[in-house]
């Protein structure tokens, strides 16, 4: 494949996940000449190979993450498993993602004014509201208007919600007695055929692969961008952005292709959409005399305020069938406690449809077969039930993404360093989530149970906050339009611009901001 640069590009987008794909599609459709540079490959072909890779041990991971290209360091009190938390390829991390999508609440945009913690966004929920609706159409969200805690919306979701699962109905009775409200989950997954993709057929392997195409991946936006004339160059790793003499404009993205060649892609406008970790790495690698601490980093905020959502969970076994692992997604959640202030961190509860082991996966790992194995599977499958929760982590300067200059990747570039710790306030919120979960499990009469709380928690793989948005150039990296304060033609798309992360999965907000960014960028192109 020809991986040489495009001449006369209006826009160069770096990264082909949802943040880059949506911007590229919108701009190409409006007539701009767009080139997308993507570090990873295109995963063409039949997704059922990846399905088998996921289910059968001994075949390697489906998305080829973790080699020398993806080296990283983790410092800080909590280990950050970066390569479980992202995918490099056309589609980005949505190749692997779960596909739960919901809007942030009003309070997420004004946490400082309301509660004196975190930061305010320079925009409010109302500014983003029409873009949320557009994002729901872009991703094809199945949902219902049955969530009394969701922020206001005028129009229905583009697709009907998935019906509640049998295990939701088990929870429903207990939750009703406890006054805990259950409602549907927004799913970027077709409940009916939509946008040229089939409806869900129940493979049950959504994360990490949906072989039917029912789960949204950003491949669809990349393909639409190409149909509208964009050029997409895969396996093109951008290693540096160069600016002009004034330091006010980016002039080129230097990228290396698999043959070892390095090219320079010039363009009028540049969009950085490499995800919350690699956005930072690229800016830091692009330091210069004018920007000794990294490109667009006069504020010193690049890489700071790294946030993720934390997982809390609890589960156990019932004395009757819970019907888990038929589908790989959830149908019910609870946002009732999201806006509470004690502790202030947002939290949402999930009712899992994939609690406990799947017989086929267990069988392939078992140390026996025949009737022994059948007995083992009879015992292990069928009666597990569990709840999850995501908990908000407030922005803290000392959680950061930096460069580990002592360690390099296969091209000789310093790898990203994730310095991440979970503070006491977040731990308190995790304990609170566990407390609610325990009440539900008590109500169900589950005595023997497991809990994932503050001591065992891990990240939900949502990288946020590292190139935060704000009005003050001394404290933030991009403005309310997602344009860098320091450079006129550098835009940043993705959750790295979130000043706070709430506790809702981020990608719908990423998509809404991307649609909005594309509009502003279109205007800047004239």
Ligand X SMILES: Cc1cc2nc3c(=O)[nH]c(=O)nc-3n(C[C@H](O)[C@H](O)[C@H](O)COP(=O)(O)OP(=O)(O)OC[C@H]3O[C@@H](n4cnc5c(N)ncnc54)[C@H](O)[C@@H]3O)c2cc1C
Instruction: Give the binding site for ligand SF4 (CB under 6 A).
Output: 189, 200-206, 210, 212, 214-215, 327-329
**Residue the block writes with tokens 């360091």:** 73
The item of ligand SF4, another protein, ligand X, none sharing an interface with residue 461, based on CB under 5 to 8 Å by kind, is ligand X
Residue 238 in the binding site for ligand X (CB under 6 A): yes
Residues with Cβ within 8 Å of 276's Cβ and at least 6 positions away in sequence, in order, are: 306, 401, 463, 464, 465, 466, 494, 495, 496
Instruction: Write out the two tokens for 230.
Output: 């964009």
Exposed e or buried b for every residue in 501-521, given b needs 16+ CB within 10 A?
Answer: bbbbbbbbbbbbbbbbbbbeb
| Nearest approach, Cβ of residue 52 and another protein (Å) | 6
Work out whether 203 is an interface residue with another protein (CB under 8 A): yes
Give per-residue burial for 34-67: e unless 16+ CB within 10 Å, then b: bbbbbbbebbeeebeebbebbbeeeeeebbbbee
Among 12, 51, 159, 274, binds ligand X (CB under 6 A): 274
Q: The tokens of 65 are what? A: 């993450």
Pairing of strands 414-419, 347-351: unpaired
Tokens representing 71 are 């080296």
Which range of residues in 89-97, 200-208, 255-263, 279-287 is near another protein by CB under 8 A?
200-208
Is residue 162 close enough to count as binding ligand X by CB under 6 A? no
Smallest separation (angstroms) from ligand X to the CB of 321:
26
> DSSP letters along 36-74, please?
EE-SS----S-HHHHHHHHHSTTS--TT--SSGGG--EE
Residue closer to ligand X (CB basis): 99 or 454: 99
Residue 5 or 494 having the CB closest to ligand X? 494
Q: Which is nearer to ligand SF4, 197 or 483 (CB)?
A: 197
Pairing of strands 400-408, 414-419: antiparallel
For residue 393 the two structure tokens come to 């982590």
Stretch that binds ligand X, among 269-277, 385-393, 473-481, 482-490 (CB under 6 A): 269-277
Residues 113 and 297: their CA atoms lie apart, in Å, by 26
Residue 182 binding result from ligand SF4, another protein, ligand X, none, given CB thresholds of 5 to 8 Å by partner type: another protein
Interface residues toward ligand X, by CB under 6 A: 14-20, 37-40, 85-86, 88-89, 92-94, 96-101, 207, 237-238, 273-275, 278, 282, 461-462, 494-495, 505-507, 510
Residues near another protein (CB under 8 A) are 46-49, 51-52, 55-59, 162-166, 168-174, 182, 191, 196-205, 211-214, 321, 323, 325-328, 332, 353, 358-361, 363-364, 366-371, 373-374, 377-378, 381-382, 444
């Amino acid at each position: 494949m020809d991986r040489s640069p495009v001449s006369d590009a209006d826009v160069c987008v770096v990264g082909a996940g949802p943040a880059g794909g949506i911007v590229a599609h919108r701009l190409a459709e409006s007539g701009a000449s767009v080139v997308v540079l993507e570090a990873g490959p295109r995963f063409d072909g039949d997704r059922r190979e990846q399905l088998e890779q996921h289910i059968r041990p001994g075949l390697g991971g489906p998305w080829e993450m973790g080699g020398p290209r993806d080296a990283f360091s983790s410092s800080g009190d909590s280990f950050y498993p970066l390569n479980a938390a992202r995918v490099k390829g056309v589609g980005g991390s949505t190749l692997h993602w779960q596909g739960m999508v919901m809007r942030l609440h009003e309070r997420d945009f004004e946490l400082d004014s309301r509660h004196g913690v975190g930061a305010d966004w320079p925009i409010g929920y109302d500014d983003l509201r029409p873009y949320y609706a557009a994002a729901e159409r872009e991703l094809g969200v199945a949902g219902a208007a049955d969530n009394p805690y969701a922020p206001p919306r005028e129009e229905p979701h583009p697709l009907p919600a998935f019906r509640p699962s049998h295990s939701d109905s088990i929870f429903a009775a207990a939750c009703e007695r406890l006054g805990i409200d259950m409602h549907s989950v927004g799913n970027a997954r077709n409940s009916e055929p939509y946008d040229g993709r089939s409806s869900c057929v129940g493979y049950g392997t959504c994360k990490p692969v949906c072989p039917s195409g029912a789960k949204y991946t950003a491949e669809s936006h990349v393909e639409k961008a190409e149909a509208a004339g964009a050029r997409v160059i895969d396996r093109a790793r951008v290693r540096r952005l160069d600016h002009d003499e004034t330091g006010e404009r980016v002039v080129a993205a230097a990228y290396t292709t698999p043959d070892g060649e390095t090219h320079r892609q010039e363009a009028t406008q540049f969009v950085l959409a490499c995800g919350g970790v690699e956005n930072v790495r690229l800016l830091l690698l692009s330091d210069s005399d004018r920007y000794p601490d990294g490109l667009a980093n006069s504020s010193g905020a690049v890489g700071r305020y790294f946030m993720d959502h934390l997982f809390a969970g609890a589960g156990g076994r019932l004395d009757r069938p819970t019907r888990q692992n038929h589908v790989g997604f959830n149908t019910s959640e609870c946002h009732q406690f999201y806006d509470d202030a004690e502790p202030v961190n947002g939290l949402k509860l999930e009712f899992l449809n994939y609690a406990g082991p799947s017989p086929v996966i267990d069988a392939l790992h078992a140390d026996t077969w025949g009737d022994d194995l059948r007995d083992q599977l009879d015992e292990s499958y069928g009666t597990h039930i569990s709840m999850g929760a995501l908990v908000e982590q407030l922005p803290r300067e000392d959680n950061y993404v930096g460069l580990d200059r002592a360690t390099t990747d296969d091209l000789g570039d310093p790898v990203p360093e994730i310095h991440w710790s979970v503070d006491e306030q977040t731990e308190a919120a995790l304990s609170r989530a566990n407390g609610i979960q325990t009440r539900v499990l008590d109500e169900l009469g589950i005595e023997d149970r497991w809990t994932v709380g503050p001591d065992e928690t891990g990240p939900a793989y949502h990288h946020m906050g590292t190139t935060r948005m704000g009005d003050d150039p001394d404290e933030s990296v991009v403005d309310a339009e997602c344009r860098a304060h320091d450079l006129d033609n550098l835009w940043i798309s993705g959750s790295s611009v979130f000043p706070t992360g709430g506790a809702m999965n981020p990608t719908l907000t990423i998509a809404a901001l991307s649609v909005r960014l594309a509009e502003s960028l279109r205007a800047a192109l004239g």
